[in-house]
Structures are given as structure tokens and as C-alpha cells.
Amino acid sequence: DTGVSQNPRHKITKRGQNVTFRCDPISEHNRLYWYRQTLGQGPEFLTYFQNEAQLEKSRLLSDRFSAERPKGSFSTLEIQRTEQGDSAMYLCASSVQGVNTEAFFGQGTRLTVV
């Protein structure tokens, strides 16, 4: 199964530490998205890549957050100086380019900041 893969699945970190998550999209998908989901809420859009270009960033993505997709394949999401409010499920999704195409999600990375 060559679905969207996210690593790690779980991450516990101390407040103030930096963390980095990785997403490997479906190989032929040139669009990649990061979302964040907190308890009782739906996923919220964070950022979007088309190939290696980061084309949109949500205002939710503070300057402590940075995302990259250096070769248009895998992507990383880094959170610097983590805060307890960063605790959430971080979801990556990918899709093919085009109008009205569905996004396929990975299993997510559960971040807990203690």
C-alpha cells in the first residue's frame, strides 16, 4: 500500500523543545497539505505545497512553524520552541493536481507537549 505515510506516529516533547515531523505523499501526487486537528474539532488547514513551492500558509502557522518540501516529494513540518497549545494531531494529505480532486490523508502524528 503506497498511501500517505507520516512519521513519527506519536511524539511527546517538553515545552520549549523543537520537533520535526515527516510526510511522504502518494508518489504521483504533486499537491501536499498539512492540517492540524484538536480534540472535538475538524482538521484545520495549515499550509499547502504544489511540487516544492509553498503556495499558501494559514494565519494559524505562527513564525514558530515552518514547512518544507525541498524536492517536491516528502515534506517536513518543524515546530520550534513548542508550547502546550501545540498539542494536537498533525495530518498530512496529498492529491493530484486538478479541479475537484480528493485529498488522501496519512495516519497523522500525535504531538503531546508536556
Partner 1 sequence: DQQVKQNSPSLSVQEGRISILNCDYTNSMFDYFLWYKKYPAEGPTFLISISSIKDKNEDGRFTVFLNKSAKHLSLHIVPSQPGDSAVYFCAASAVAGGTSYGKLTFGQGTILTVHP
Stretch that binds partner 1, among 12-20, 40-48, 67-75, 80-88 (CB under 8 A): 40-48
Burial class of residue 99 (count of CB atoms within 10 Å of its CB; 0-12, 13-18, 19+): exposed
Nearer to partner 1, 15 or 96 (CB): 96
Residue 95: strand pairing partners:
31
Kindly state whether residue 104 participates in binding partner 1, applying the rule CB under 8 A. Answer: yes
Q: Is the alpha carbon torsion for 112, 15, 32, 36 positive or negative?
A: positive
Residue 35: strand pairing partners:
45, 91
DSSP code of residue 88: E
Q: Of residues 1, 28, 42, 71, which one binds partner 1 by CB under 8 A?
A: 42
DSSP code of residue 9: S
Site for partner 1, residues 43 to 72, rule: CB under 8 A:
43-45, 48, 50, 55-56
Site for partner 1, residues 2 to 31, rule: CB under 8 A:
4, 6, 31
Which residues contact partner 1 by CB under 8 A?
Answer: 4, 6, 31, 33, 35, 40-45, 48, 50, 55-56, 91, 93, 95, 98-108, 110
